[in-house]
Structure 1
């Protein structure tokens, strides 16, 4: 595996890696990154007392806010671990950086002269969430097909007990998948069309409820992470790409964890 990571990273550093090689490179780094988050970062820095003593927010607005915050923290932790792994192998030849502006994508893998060679969007999905904070809304027109990937991570609360008997809990990642961004956008856009909507370069239009033939700008529902593939497409999985089949395995893992 180390040899494969080395070879793929070298191609990325030279700017000659295709999207399949980029997805494979990140996929090979993810198990160790997730392990680091679950075994080191989360039990140390995301830990809190058990819920009856230190309850979580229950108000809908606060609930959405804390899930967004925790998702952002987990994305940071995963990205930091990935960069640490990259640095160990490639030194300054490659590095994973944050996108400092508030725009797509979240992260960039840069080469030795800081040219972005890979663009990464990361989305954290809470197993107990009703999806209000987990959406993939970037327009297809903004995606660079040979550079852009999406990392989806599923997380949940883990109950534990310290050596001194203190009951506690912290967030852990139970599943992940790496998918080219263009693949997810293609399925999302096809789902919009199958539901009678239309996709344009600068917007997604969906049918108005109760108004046959009328369209309105999408309010985020088209991009819900667990619903990007239309139900009719799921019935014929052999017609779906390998990446979308892996994405559906991820969504199944998240759904199975819901309480």
Structure 2
């Protein structure tokens, strides 16, 4: 079930929930790691709300807005990040106005605390929170080319109306910032030097290339994570590639791979990054 703008519960068919309710999730760690619990924080529709659960729970626990939690109605959270240095049940979330909250789930009820005030309005870029290996909190803004085809639907060979297969959603710019909670500002960064970012549906990562020599320095590995594009253009080509932060350009994986790749592997379902566990 979901809640409407008045907070009333509204039913939704299970088959449709995957397409219109779930946006993204952040994990506190692998659920297979022995001796540690796991918490999953879910960002979902209709108002960018938050819910959480642990393995074995029968249902999601909705985090209601209000004085008891510190969340406002219609907060429109866009990204969540977990930092293992802060404790098992401690997450960071960013709103569409770039304000940032910490979220503590370990007590009898969730508690949110704002650590960054509102900085902008609107929702033009896609926002990502990244915990840097050196301890700082970063924020990335990903701008994309708008897609407004004059004829969004075409007739296929069976006579059915389908989405125009030529429509794509492309990254045009990537901006990086260091989050300064003391000065209540975002400080623009010109690059990451010997580090690489991973951005997409998964929790964002920043990795040192000296430990992962196959990665390109000062780059961001990106995948499509637009819920609207995934649902309305389900079988269209996905943007998957390596963004050069200095040159502000993208190299597609299909262009970079030495192997012949078919375009079909680049469409639905949504692409994700896979982080193997060696423990």
TM-score by length of 2: 0.26
> Where is the strand percentage greater, Structure 1 or Structure 2?
2
> Where is the helix percentage greater, Structure 1 or Structure 2?
1
TM-score by length of 1: 0.27
Greater RCO, CA 8 A, separation 6+: 1
